[in-house]
Structure 1
Amino acid sequence: MIKRVLITGGAGGIGKHLASAYSKEGYEVFVLDKELCSFQEKNIHTFQVDLCQNDEIKICFQQIQEQFGCIHVLINNGAVSKFHKPVNEIEIDEFSKVIHTNLIGAFVCCKEFVKQHDPVCFGRIINIASTRFHQNEKDWEAYGASKGGLVSLTNSLCVSLSNTNITVNAISPGWIETEDYEHLTLKDHKQHPSGRVGKPQDIVNVCLFLSKEENDFINGANIIVDGGMTKKMIYVEE
């Protein structure tokens, strides 16, 4: 059986690594992104979709199902990830755009995934959240709220879909460097209990594990992948 995975936000960063990894595993891969993107692999198909546009998401899911069949794995990775602004300066429409892209867009994808799911097949929803859902810096209210909502959505969907073959889990990455890993300093690495900054492959490994058909007893989990960083107490040294 050919397995199919849909990955949002697959034009770059973690999403691009996910697309290539699932391609190597023999999946038929469908990448949704606001930006145009291309891959050399023949089993990776790209679609230009804005997660703020609900109709675009629905049409895309319909096209994939009609042409290829049902999707087995959905990875909600697409997000506005670098937006931060002081609370007194952020506009409501800016806050709303982050929530719509990161949370509502993911929810619409989940709805469409469930709608097209074949009851005789296994299904996996993997939501890429963030450690910022519970530990943050100043001026990241919109992003933190969106990722906190995504974790809560994972919890609720796990229960709501208990009469299906679909499991729903979240992964909360910490610092995952996707661009200039070789330029990181020793201090960057040493502040992690694991002794290094994270790499995209660290997230890929967990996604592939959760996607396995036999791993159906992991459900409603939020797996933190941060090298132990959020377990570390930070004190001001005197």
Structure 2
Amino acid sequence: MNQLDLNKRVAVITGGAQGMGYATAQRMLASGAAVALWDIDAQRLEQARETLKPSGKVITAVVELTDQASVEAATQATLAALGRIDILVNNAGITGGNGTTWELAPEVWRRVIEVNLIGPFLTSRSIVPHMVKQGYGRIVNIASVAGKEGNPNASHYSASKAGLIGLTKSLAKELAKTGVLVNAVTPAAAKTAIFDSMKQEHIDFMLSKIPMGRFLQVDEAASLIGWLASEDCAFSTGAVFDLSGGRATY
């Protein structure tokens, strides 16, 4: 593992109780950061806190990311416990299952947009003013290769991630002179719990599109996210970093 310097930094990781978020928490703790895990699943949060706490300072908050009051409460609780927020990783996301656009229920479509796009808007809206005030911040949005290409039978997910890429670019330009940098990564699929809501034919389709012939490992994602969250990332903002095994190198 290459060494990153996140000493004395405080990171908020949404969807941090499992999968890519949990791996990112591990990497940041190993790099010296204190970590606040925000997630909707209280039981998994407690399990994650117990397994991570030997590695460093970890706090948790049960958060409904689509609810402004819930996000604001978690922000204030994190600031009270850890004193500052230097890093925001907008990792939480759902797929909403698979189906053609005309088959997907409107309430399912809306829920995916709410969690995957409105959630990062609300967390950014709540945390950015604190980053601007301290003159430093790093925001890493976990988008998807689906947001670049548009996966069939996943229009809700693809649209939400395309929107997150657009949010990344707009917010980055707004913050470019403040010391707060905003970037996105576009992973191909990683084998996490999110696969449980996908049809096998959709999983097979995604694998067939990856030139490397394998799925992303969560530790590989955590490595890039960790660098983007560090001071070493100093002149990249509004950028979209490919994590697709060669699928979408643009």
Q: TM-score range by the shorter chain?
A: 0.7 to 0.9
Measure, in 2, the Cα distance between the counterparts of 1:93 and 1:195. Answer: 34
Instruction: Report the counterpart of residue 114 of structure 1 in structure 2.
Output: 128
Deviations 1:160-184 (A, max 9, x none): 11231100000000122237xxxxx
Instruction: Report the counterpart of residue 235 of structure 1 in structure 2.
Output: none
- Structure 2: runs of 5 or more not aligned: 1-6, 194-205
Measure, in 2, the Cα distance between the counterparts of 1:160 and 1:141. Answer: 28
Measure, in 2, the Cα distance between the counterparts of 1:120 and 1:71. Answer: 9
Secondary structure of the 2:185 match is strand
TM-score under structure 1 normalisation?
A: 0.87
Deviation (angstroms), 1:189: 7.6
Deviation (angstroms), 1:191: 6.3
Q: Does 1:23 align with 2:29?
A: yes
Measure, in 2, the Cα distance between the counterparts of 1:211 and 1:63. Answer: 21
Deviations 1:31-81 (A, max 9, x none): 111112122233121111111222101111011112321200000000113
Specify whether residues 140 and 196 from structure 1 end up closer, same or farther in structure 2 by C-alpha distance, changes over 3 A only: closer
Instruction: Report the counterpart of residue 8 of structure 1 in structure 2.
Output: 14
- Structure 1: runs of 5 or more not aligned: 180-187, 232-238
Q: Does 1:41 align with 2:52?
A: yes
Measure, in 2, the Cα distance between the counterparts of 1:52 and 1:116. Answer: 20
Q: Does the aligned pair in 2 maintain the 1:192–1:229 contact within 8 Å?
A: yes
TM-score under structure 2 normalisation?
A: 0.83
Question: Of the candidates 77, 98, 111, which is equivalent to residue 97 of structure 1?
Answer: 111
Alignment of 1:65-104 (within 5 A): 65-104=79-118
Q: Does the aligned pair in 2 maintain the 1:84–1:143 contact within 8 Å?
A: no
Tell me which protein shows more helix as a share of its residues: 2
Measure, in 2, the Cα distance between the counterparts of 1:5 and 1:113. Answer: 11
CA-based RMSD = 2.1
Measure, in 2, the Cα distance between the counterparts of 1:93 and 1:82. Answer: 10
Question: Of the candidates 208, 226, 233, which is equivalent to residue 215 of structure 1?
Answer: 233
Measure, in 2, the Cα distance between the counterparts of 1:84 and 1:47. Answer: 30
- The percent identity for this pair of structures is 29
